[in-house]
Amino acid sequence: ECTEERVSFSVPDGAVLFAGSRRGVVPAPTASLLVAGLARLGFSFLVGCAAGVDERFRYTLSLTAVTEEHACVACAFEKRAAEIGRTWLFASLVVPEGVNPRAALRRRTLWLVKRADLLMLFPDDPETGRWGRGSALSRAFHTDDCAIASASS
């Protein structure tokens, strides 16, 4: 469970990670259907703190009956964690402070992927299927025990 302790928290089994481009757009109905359906199946949720796909799923999670212990926002920067933490969503800095910004984003992505049982990726351009850097890193890093679903809107 995600708790508000800064030192330690855990991600429940059965976690789905929504990830994709900062410039990507996921239609609200698509995000709502995915969250509602996966919540009914007992999944918990992981999402990053960026704009685009992350932002859509954070917003969708904030509108649903998903409880705080079933949704966790992983942040690369303390400022973002504090901003998001002012909402009901649990947000945590998952990268050591002082890491350069580019490395921090990579470490945050890897932190998320390592804890996900299902990785739901949304490409930069659904027509061409081209992935952004973070999505490509997520896809390349997945392990055999993590299912990947490539989604387009």
Tens digits of residue pLDDT in 50-68: 888 999 999 999 888 666 6
Q: Which residues of the chain have pLDDT under 70?
A: 1-12, 65-68, 123, 125-129, 131-153
* Residue 139: per-residue pLDDT: 64
Asked if residues 16 and 45 have their Cβ atoms less than 8 Å apart, the reply is: yes
pTM, two decimal places: 0.79
Query: Residue 75, class by beta-carbon neighbours within 10 Å (0-12 exposed, 13-18 middle, 19+ buried)?
Result: buried
